[in-house]
Chains A and B, each alone.
Chain A
Protein backbone atom coordinates (compact mmCIF):
# COMPACT_ATOMS: atom_id res chain seq x y z
CA UNK A 1 0.00 0.00 0.00
CA UNK A 2 1.24 3.46 -0.86
CA UNK A 3 2.11 5.53 2.18
CA UNK A 4 2.27 9.21 2.98
CA UNK A 5 4.75 11.19 5.04
CA UNK A 6 3.82 14.38 6.82
CA UNK A 7 5.54 16.59 9.41
CA UNK A 8 4.36 15.79 12.92
CA UNK A 9 3.39 19.35 13.74
CA UNK A 10 3.26 22.86 12.37
CA UNK A 11 2.38 26.28 13.72
CA UNK A 12 0.75 29.20 12.03
CA UNK A 13 -0.40 32.64 13.01
CA UNK A 14 -4.07 33.43 12.75
CA UNK A 15 -5.16 35.07 9.49
CA UNK A 16 -2.04 33.87 7.67
CA UNK A 17 -1.85 31.20 4.96
CA UNK A 18 -0.75 27.71 5.92
CA UNK A 19 0.96 25.22 3.64
CA UNK A 20 0.77 21.63 4.85
CA UNK A 21 3.08 19.32 2.89
CA UNK A 22 2.68 15.64 2.16
CA UNK A 23 5.09 13.25 0.47
CA UNK A 24 3.77 10.19 -1.32
CA UNK A 25 6.67 9.00 -3.43
CA UNK A 26 5.19 5.53 -4.01
CA UNK A 27 1.87 6.81 -5.32
CA UNK A 28 0.43 4.88 -8.22
CA UNK A 29 -1.32 6.32 -11.21
CA UNK A 30 -4.74 5.34 -9.90
CA UNK A 31 -4.38 6.75 -6.39
CA UNK A 32 -6.41 9.78 -5.46
CA UNK A 33 -5.00 12.19 -2.89
CA UNK A 34 -7.45 12.99 -0.12
CA UNK A 35 -7.10 15.31 2.85
CA UNK A 36 -9.07 15.01 6.04
CA UNK A 37 -8.79 16.83 9.31
CA UNK A 38 -9.70 15.82 12.80
CA UNK A 39 -10.71 18.45 15.31
CA UNK A 40 -10.33 17.64 19.01
CA UNK A 41 -12.83 15.04 20.23
CA UNK A 42 -14.38 14.59 16.80
CA UNK A 43 -14.18 12.13 13.94
CA UNK A 44 -12.20 13.17 10.85
CA UNK A 45 -13.91 15.39 8.31
CA UNK A 46 -13.28 15.66 4.59
CA UNK A 47 -11.32 18.64 3.36
CA UNK A 48 -10.45 18.14 -0.30
CA UNK A 49 -9.23 15.60 -2.84
CA UNK A 50 -7.56 15.50 -6.24
CA UNK A 51 -5.88 13.29 -8.79
CA UNK A 52 -3.53 15.31 -10.97
CA UNK A 53 -4.70 18.90 -11.20
CA UNK A 54 -4.78 21.50 -8.47
CA UNK A 55 -8.14 21.77 -6.75
CA UNK A 56 -9.95 24.50 -4.87
CA UNK A 57 -13.00 24.45 -2.65
CA UNK A 58 -14.45 26.63 0.05
CA UNK A 59 -12.24 25.14 2.72
CA UNK A 60 -8.86 24.90 1.08
CA UNK A 61 -6.74 24.41 -2.01
CA UNK A 62 -4.77 21.34 -3.00
CA UNK A 63 -1.59 21.73 -4.99
CA UNK A 64 -0.29 18.52 -6.56
CA UNK A 65 3.26 18.24 -7.86
CA UNK A 66 3.66 17.44 -11.53
CA UNK A 67 5.16 14.02 -10.75
CA UNK A 68 2.43 13.50 -8.11
CA UNK A 69 5.00 12.43 -5.52
CA UNK A 70 4.02 15.25 -3.22
CA UNK A 71 1.12 17.56 -2.53
CA UNK A 72 0.38 20.59 -0.39
CA UNK A 73 -2.81 21.53 1.37
CA UNK A 74 -3.23 25.27 1.51
CA UNK A 75 -5.42 27.02 4.04
CA UNK A 76 -5.64 30.55 2.77
CA UNK A 77 -6.33 32.27 6.09
CA UNK A 78 -5.90 30.16 9.17
CA UNK A 79 -8.37 30.63 11.99
CA UNK A 80 -8.32 29.23 15.50
CA UNK A 81 -11.00 26.76 14.39
CA UNK A 82 -8.53 25.27 11.91
CA UNK A 83 -6.41 23.86 14.72
CA UNK A 84 -6.62 20.12 14.08
CA UNK A 85 -4.71 17.08 12.90
CA UNK A 86 -4.55 17.06 9.11
CA UNK A 87 -4.26 13.72 7.32
CA UNK A 88 -3.02 13.23 3.80
CA UNK A 89 -4.41 9.97 2.45
CA UNK A 90 -4.06 7.99 -0.73
CA UNK A 91 -7.23 6.36 -1.92
CA UNK A 92 -6.55 3.42 -4.16
CA UNK A 93 -8.90 3.41 -7.13
CA UNK A 94 -7.68 0.19 -8.71
CA UNK A 95 -10.24 -1.88 -6.93
CA UNK A 96 -9.58 -2.01 -3.21
CA UNK A 97 -10.53 1.61 -2.46
CA UNK A 98 -8.68 1.43 0.82
CA UNK A 99 -7.97 4.56 2.81
CA UNK A 100 -4.45 4.46 4.22
CA UNK A 101 -4.09 7.15 6.87
CA UNK A 102 -0.66 8.46 7.77
CA UNK A 103 0.27 9.94 11.13
CA UNK A 104 -0.98 13.37 10.19
CA UNK A 105 0.21 16.89 10.96
CA UNK A 106 -0.99 18.61 14.11
CA UNK A 107 -1.62 22.24 13.19
CA UNK A 108 -1.47 24.80 15.94
CA UNK A 109 -2.88 28.23 15.17
CA UNK A 110 -1.59 31.09 17.25
CA UNK A 111 -3.82 34.06 18.03
Chain B
Protein backbone atom coordinates (compact mmCIF):
# COMPACT_ATOMS: atom_id res chain seq x y z
CA UNK B 1 0.00 0.00 0.00
CA UNK B 2 1.45 3.37 -0.98
CA UNK B 3 2.12 5.80 1.83
CA UNK B 4 1.11 9.43 2.18
CA UNK B 5 2.57 11.54 -0.57
CA UNK B 6 3.12 15.26 -0.53
CA UNK B 7 3.99 17.55 -3.39
CA UNK B 8 6.10 19.44 -3.91
CA UNK B 9 8.82 18.34 -1.52
CA UNK B 10 10.60 21.68 -1.61
CA UNK B 11 9.34 25.13 -2.40
CA UNK B 12 10.86 28.60 -2.37
CA UNK B 13 8.58 31.63 -2.42
CA UNK B 14 8.91 35.31 -1.68
CA UNK B 15 6.98 37.40 0.82
CA UNK B 16 3.51 38.32 -0.30
CA UNK B 17 3.10 35.38 -2.63
CA UNK B 18 0.70 32.54 -2.07
CA UNK B 19 1.38 28.83 -2.14
CA UNK B 20 -0.64 25.62 -2.49
CA UNK B 21 0.59 22.33 -1.09
CA UNK B 22 -0.89 18.97 -1.96
CA UNK B 23 -1.36 15.79 0.02
CA UNK B 24 -2.53 12.38 -1.18
CA UNK B 25 -3.56 10.15 1.72
CA UNK B 26 -3.26 6.41 1.91
CA UNK B 27 -5.93 4.74 -0.19
CA UNK B 28 -9.12 4.34 1.83
CA UNK B 29 -8.20 6.94 4.42
CA UNK B 30 -10.82 9.65 4.83
CA UNK B 31 -9.17 11.93 7.35
CA UNK B 32 -6.32 14.27 6.47
CA UNK B 33 -4.58 16.55 8.96
CA UNK B 34 -2.02 19.25 8.34
CA UNK B 35 0.78 20.37 10.64
CA UNK B 36 3.42 23.04 10.60
CA UNK B 37 6.82 22.20 12.03
CA UNK B 38 9.40 24.85 12.88
CA UNK B 39 12.49 24.69 15.10
CA UNK B 40 11.03 27.27 17.46
CA UNK B 41 7.41 26.12 17.76
CA UNK B 42 7.70 22.42 17.10
CA UNK B 43 4.78 20.56 15.55
CA UNK B 44 1.62 22.60 15.45
CA UNK B 45 -1.77 21.41 14.29
CA UNK B 46 -3.24 23.41 11.41
CA UNK B 47 -6.49 21.67 10.51
CA UNK B 48 -8.14 18.36 9.85
CA UNK B 49 -10.50 17.35 7.09
CA UNK B 50 -12.80 14.38 7.15
CA UNK B 51 -15.04 13.49 4.23
CA UNK B 52 -14.48 16.90 2.62
CA UNK B 53 -15.45 18.81 5.79
CA UNK B 54 -13.11 20.70 8.04
CA UNK B 55 -13.56 19.07 11.42
CA UNK B 56 -10.85 20.78 13.45
CA UNK B 57 -8.80 23.91 13.18
CA UNK B 58 -5.70 25.01 15.04
CA UNK B 59 -4.76 28.53 16.07
CA UNK B 60 -3.50 29.88 12.79
CA UNK B 61 -4.54 33.05 10.96
CA UNK B 62 -7.05 32.98 8.15
CA UNK B 63 -4.21 33.14 5.62
CA UNK B 64 -3.95 29.39 6.15
CA UNK B 65 -6.75 27.47 4.51
CA UNK B 66 -7.37 24.04 3.18
CA UNK B 67 -9.81 21.80 1.44
CA UNK B 68 -10.41 18.15 0.78
CA UNK B 69 -11.69 16.61 -2.40
CA UNK B 70 -14.06 13.71 -2.86
CA UNK B 71 -11.13 11.34 -3.41
CA UNK B 72 -9.76 12.44 0.01
CA UNK B 73 -6.82 14.29 -1.49
CA UNK B 74 -6.22 17.54 0.31
CA UNK B 75 -4.65 20.86 -0.41
CA UNK B 76 -3.58 23.63 1.88
CA UNK B 77 -3.10 27.20 0.81
CA UNK B 78 -1.16 29.98 2.44
CA UNK B 79 -1.79 33.46 1.13
CA UNK B 80 0.29 36.59 1.58
CA UNK B 81 3.33 34.65 2.70
CA UNK B 82 5.43 35.94 5.57
CA UNK B 83 9.01 35.06 6.49
CA UNK B 84 7.69 33.24 9.54
CA UNK B 85 5.77 30.82 7.35
CA UNK B 86 9.02 29.11 6.46
CA UNK B 87 8.57 25.62 7.83
CA UNK B 88 8.11 21.96 7.13
CA UNK B 89 4.45 21.29 6.38
CA UNK B 90 3.38 17.78 7.20
CA UNK B 91 0.27 15.98 6.15
CA UNK B 92 -1.09 12.92 7.91
CA UNK B 93 -3.94 10.58 7.11
CA UNK B 94 -6.02 8.16 9.15
CA UNK B 95 -8.66 5.70 8.14
CA UNK B 96 -11.42 7.00 10.37
CA UNK B 97 -10.09 10.07 12.10
CA UNK B 98 -11.35 8.92 15.48
CA UNK B 99 -9.37 9.00 18.72
CA UNK B 100 -7.86 5.61 18.03
CA UNK B 101 -6.82 6.38 14.51
CA UNK B 102 -3.14 5.92 13.90
CA UNK B 103 -1.87 8.81 11.83
CA UNK B 104 0.40 8.10 8.89
CA UNK B 105 2.59 11.05 8.04
CA UNK B 106 4.00 12.05 4.71
CA UNK B 107 7.58 13.25 4.23
CA UNK B 108 6.52 16.89 4.29
CA UNK B 109 6.92 19.93 2.08
CA UNK B 110 9.78 22.23 3.01
CA UNK B 111 8.65 25.81 2.36
CA UNK B 112 11.17 28.61 2.37
CA UNK B 113 9.93 32.19 2.24
CA UNK B 114 12.48 34.79 1.19
Contact = CB atoms under 8 A, between A and B. Distances in A.
A93 B98 contact: yes
B107 A42 contact: yes
A45 B102 CA distance: 9
Contacts of B99: 30, 32, 91-93, 97
Most buried by A among B55, B98, B101: B101
A29 to B, nearest CB: 12
A87 interface: yes
B42 interface: yes
A43 B108 contact: yes
Contacts, number: 56
A12 to B, nearest CB: 22
A98 B108 contact: no
B97 A101 contact: no
Interface of A: 30, 32, 36, 42-46, 49, 87, 91-93, 96-104
15 contacts: A36-B103, A43-B90, A43-B105, A44-B105, A45-B104, A87-B43, A92-B99, A97-B55, A97-B97, A97-B98, A98-B48, A98-B56, A98-B58, A99-B45, A102-B42
